[in-house]
A and B are shown apart, each in its own frame.
Chain A
């Protein structure tokens, strides 16, 4: 069926109506941006809603006796399986450890489920599982439950891994986006975008030479240092899919505040900047796997920053912004020229530009 013409205007002046997406899953639903949020609110929350899930935190906290236990799960479908600085195995361990860590939990055990494609080389699986072991040792956690399924060739992209994790939150720790207040400082634990660029540099059809290696790392040690510093930390998030911009937007939304990010203060390595220039990407939206964003009381930011910088995974930590207002959920970016623009969430996947 054709769409009607605008009255009196030549047909060439308009452009076509697209069928509303939503009938089938598109790749953008997995980007961590607006489409993912839409899927969560339209499909998952209506069916599964409960007070713990509805908070949409990286991990859910439940009281078990006198202890607070945090629980989380995450699937890993990275392509390629190996990239500079890591592989799907270490990523699957670090990702879940980090989701526990940023909610204040010390990980006590992980599970790992493997979906293997028929024909996948066992020697490659061995290397990936060994890499999981190394990553788990580094984080001080064990894989205490596991499962394996095999699907026919063509039904999976080599190997998918899902990890879940439980952790214990120490007594006094209280973290949450609802604690954010006007005047608070926004900190980031190091240069952003390394993981996304490292993966892209190894992706088929896009191979480019870079010295950038993934930042994939367990953040529980860094988080412990931060919590022990005694500075008032309101909340933390690890900046994975969708990058720092997406995480800061999530924080602004769930706490109902306006956050101002100073573009010049955001640490980005030259190699990442260069790759982003070539590909037409904004580093603020490129994934990290070993960086966190923390919101602290403004008076505590120096104390927390000092603690972060003492840890090897936080040595390049920076203060990148401030919570400016309440009652309006958005993120603004101040450029080096003093102009200000909206730093929105990503719509679908970031696509390399044409020219």
Chain B
């Protein structure tokens, strides 16, 4: 298939592995930011092919994984109200809140529906004007433009029974938080290509200057990831720290200007606590005052109470690259995709789920020894 097969070509993959082997002289720790990248690495066993010196750690870029528990509790609370239809992406329905998830809320009688696009939720609101339709909007800068578009359209069409819980978050504050941490061991980043397709690459330049780490904007196919690793290793070995764009077939320096303009109109930056992190300044997107009428939190007078977190799940350390999923005592024991304790075990982009599905082999081999 065009645009896919060439990026999964075994000969190219092995050539890139050879190139990395020829360049590397010492151990380096590199974080791939996006859960989609983690998924590719584990699915294709790229970590098996890489030389021992390259330690890939998995980043926080799984949108459902970092959505704070309080927001999930709010969504569940809304879904309990008889007049409300709550819509979200399928992944989001299985993420545990304080006591249950949205699938449980649906099984208990809540009107919870899976949509594939926010526009479907708006369409539902127009089709069923007596229902209050709430879209639970999660995701990084990749999905934020479609939420911005749907809020903009709802305002333009004056749809009175539509609102969103905006739980969108931004990548650069998370990278900064990781780099600021005393426990950080990440020496280079593979940034999430699709986020940069929207936002461009200029946001990453101040990080490179401040922290002297290479950041390679990287795609999602095996060849993309290995090329990203090769570029990162080359910079590290040469002592350079620059922003480079591996994913140039999709990412322009300035990003998608129309999408950015729309996001700037609809959203405003706010501080938010992430799952696995502390409160990160200006790390989230909330609806701006101009669109307050479409903000479900304001419309329904919701207050966020701080939810408690349990002892067993160590997703926070996984999301900050401090722990590999199989190193968590709950992994595969009390925490499985059927009964997830934490969001990374739920999503197809979650590092724990990726390891559980594909990586248990390595764990089994270790046990056998």
Interface residues of A (CB under 8 A from B): 2-7, 10-21, 24-28, 34-35, 38, 205-206, 270, 273-274, 277, 280, 332, 335-342, 344, 347-349, 351-355
Q: Is B260 an interface residue (CB 8 A)?
A: no
A sample of 28 cross-chain residue pairs with beta-carbon separation below 8 angstroms, ordered by A number, consists of A3-B309, A3-B310, A5-B308, A5-B310, A5-B311, A7-B311, A12-B275, A12-B277, A13-B317, A14-B309, A15-B69, A15-B275, A15-B313, A15-B343, A16-B341, A18-B100, A18-B101, A19-B99, A21-B338, A26-B104, A26-B107, A38-B338, A337-B45, A339-B49, A341-B358, A342-B364, A347-B336, A352-B90
Cβ-neighbour of B316 out of A13, A27, A270 (below 8 A): A13
Output the least CB separation between A5 and chain B (Å).
6
Is there contact, CB below 8 Å, between B347 and A353? yes
Q: Scan residues 1-37 of chain B and give those whose CB is less than 8 A from a CB of chain A.
A: 1, 4, 8, 10, 13-14, 36
In the complex, what distance in Å separates the CA atom of A31 from the CA atom of B156?
A: 40
Closest residue of chain B to A354 (Cβ to Cβ) is B89
Give every chain B residue within 8 A of A338 (Cβ-Cβ): 10
A205 and B88 alpha carbons, distance in the complex (Å): 13
Residue of A nearest to B307 (CB): A16
Interface size class on chain B is 35 or more
With beta carbons under 8 angstroms apart, the residue of B13, B42, B310, B314 that contacts A16 is B310
Closest residue of B by beta carbon distance from A33: B338
Contact A340-B361, Cβ < 8 Å, known A3-B310, A16-B69, A19-B100: yes
- A336 proximity list for chain B (CB < 8 A): 8, 10
For residue B279, which residue of chain A has the nearest CB?
A: A12
Known: A13-B309, A24-B108, A341-B45. A352 touches B89 (CB 8 A): yes
Given contacts A15-B275, A205-B116, A206-B116, contact A353 B341 (CB under 8 A): no
Which residues of chain B are within 8 angstroms of A6 by Cβ–Cβ distance? Answer: 310-311
Q: Is the CB of B46 within 8 A of A14?
A: no
Residues in A neighbouring B347, C-beta threshold 8 A: 353-354
A24 and chain B: residue at smallest CB distance: B107
CB <8 Å contact, B90 and A351: yes
Scan residues 62-92 of chain B and give those whose CB is less than 8 A from a CB of chain A: 63-64, 69, 89-92
A15–B338 contact, CB under 8 A?
A: no
Alpha-carbon gap, A296 to B315, bound state (A): 44
A6 to B312 alpha-carbon distance, docked (Å)? 7
B98 close to A (CB within 8 Å): yes
**A18 to B307 CA separation, bound complex (whole angstroms):** 13
What B residues does A344 contact at CB under 8 A?
356-358, 360
